[in-house]
Structure 1
Amino acid sequence: MITPAGDGTTATWEGVCRGRPTAAADPQLSGLPVDFSCRLPEKTELGRGMSARASWRMSPVVKAAVSASHDAVADAGLDPASWDSVRVGVVIGCGIGDLAQWRTQSLRLMDKGALSVSPLTMPMALPNMPAGEVALALGIHGPSLGTATACASGATALMTARGLLISGQCDIVLAGGAEMAVDPLPVAAFHRMGALSTRGHDISGASRPFAQERDGFVISEGTAVMVLERAEDAIARGKRPRAVFAGCGASTDAHHPTSPHPLGAGSEVALRQALADAALAPADIDHVNAHATSTPSGDAAEASMIRRVLPHGPSVTAPKGVLGHTLGAAGAIEAALTVLTIDHQLVPPTANLDGAVGEGELNHVMGTARHQRVDAAVSNSFGFGGHNVVLAFTSDVPA
């Protein structure tokens, strides 16, 4: 993971467990009605594992995905020089691509004409290029594709990758999400539709999932990539999996282009599908990593759904209080955090949430991280267009 909480998985995990918000004033958004965001740490190195020439042709979102993929492969103990590259796949979710590139090149076209447009515009800007460049960087010749289901893109990528393993088409899949879209245009657009927090007087408190006075999300950036393989294959090469990707579910609200169903009807379908796919009963779920973006309607709908499907009260956390909303990368980042929760048996807290809980009757983790037995957990991801994806993970790793 590479996120505003830290450059790398360990740094991100520790930052999320501390529960300290990363939202801050953003000079690049100066003059806009919303001029704050969650950015990657200043010294983040997005060019690691690649040549200067390769780095030069890549946009930031592509560099982020490639860097995270190198980290993930190293963490998994895999050597790209020795794997059967045709049996390896890549699925990277990205909701927007490099919007700044489109904006910059459009201005060049209008100001200076067609010959001023960069020949690198398309490979830098297209949302499938994180997957394509990861495959190129690691010599992967199996399926590679990008998924675009708005803020569920990263979760959709993981679901798709799992399907490639189950079908037998791949033995290893690199899967995750990447988004680097903190740019004046999407910020202005999200503000115009009323989706962003305007809590400029309290920036660190602006992203406040489930809190009573929440007023919108804080835009963010980041990436997460995980290595998926069959448990028996990992164990055979001496690598114990962190967790088992036990099941997944997906649905569509067909209710409104941007607003969720008020009772979470569509997300309930996805959650119940994920439980059935994983052969889990609702009471088996110990923990929920909530999508919870800090919008009034979205958090209310998700809370209603969680109470209805999981009335026994599993612990609930919402990482966007610390990280902000990383859009197309959020589902992958939050899935990775769910895996680490199982691996460490530790649930991070939801930042900016205290006793004044607007969406009560949930077992919120607040203040400090909670040591807890977590044998089964779900990670929720929802996106504009009515996309709902729920991923189920367990600790049931074969001996």
Structure 2
Amino acid sequence: MQPSDRVRDDVREFTPYAPGLSMEEIKEKYNLTRVIKLASNENPLGASPLVKRVLGRKADMVFRYPRAGNPALTAALAAYHNVPQDCVVAGNGSDEIIDLLVRVTCRPGVDNVVAFAPCFSIYVQQTRLCGVALRQPTLGPDFTFDLPALAGACDEHTSLVFLTNPDNPSGHAVPAEEILALARSLPQKALLVVDEAYAEFAEPAERYSMLARFGECGNVVVLRTFSKLYGLAGLRLGFGVMPAWLADYLLRVRLPFSVNLLAEAAGLAALEDADFIGASLVTVRRGRTRLAEALAGFGCRVYPSQANFLMFKPPYPAAEVFEGLLRRGIIVRALKSYGLPDLLRVSIGNDEENEAFLAAFKDILDHAN
């Protein structure tokens, strides 16, 4: 018997999630002393000073288990977003909430899930792992949302419909009013899961986010993360806001203590640091405008974005530009894994990082002419 014979047939076909290249990998490969990472949509200001102080104070408590269900965190999130506490579920990143939603609501071999193509790879991976069919209508022209097509892919066995708003990797977003209309058009069984990992960066955020409209429709789940705006990607913290009956079932099957003590403390502190949140938003929105204008001036096609990144088509082959940036110590995201080999995605950095990226990009163009 081969070792792989002990593994499910469908699991043998899986490939690992492909994260962006690490800074250490690039330093070693190209013999660089400094590398700027603009590939993973992280906070360009790092983490909140208040969070760092709280983590230092909490370090002595890591031998203790956190409270089951993270009641302090869910209470703070409920108050912050003006939603009922029994509708909030915290998770080990929003990825855990996605996984739980699929496991709790979908019957293998019977139910299906609907999402646009391309989409976040976790939607694809977790539905496959659970033996649930994934239906994927394509995005509209210029990566716009064909919401009638999304609704049209549903039937009486559709359990979940995923919509990332703003979307990744394009940054496209639609107002909450259109999402409400979509939710009301879905079959009775279907839940609309709105993944708002980047919603805080939209202008104005309240026009696009479903959190303020949560109570208006009974079949909506809203996902948020602390990885982007709050700068806690390394601690893995996210949450979902959903009907109370669904939250109850997720908490019944969620692994105990999946949100660790330090992540919970950091999340509580991050919500309190209004100055850091404001500075992060100003930095990203200013940088987004600066990079969009500069890239367009370099002859790139830049797609409108409400997120903390820009997707663009360079005037030369994307693979060559990507490699050229790496050699100059700049990591962006190649989108071949999304089926978009002609496009690149750049995260918005701080002012210095943005200018370094633009200088490296210009140097590539100058050497190509």
Which is greater in Rg? 2
Structure-1-length-normalised TM-score? 0.27
Query: If each structure's strand is expressed as a fraction of its own residues, which one has the higher value?
Result: 1
Structure-2-length-normalised TM-score? 0.29
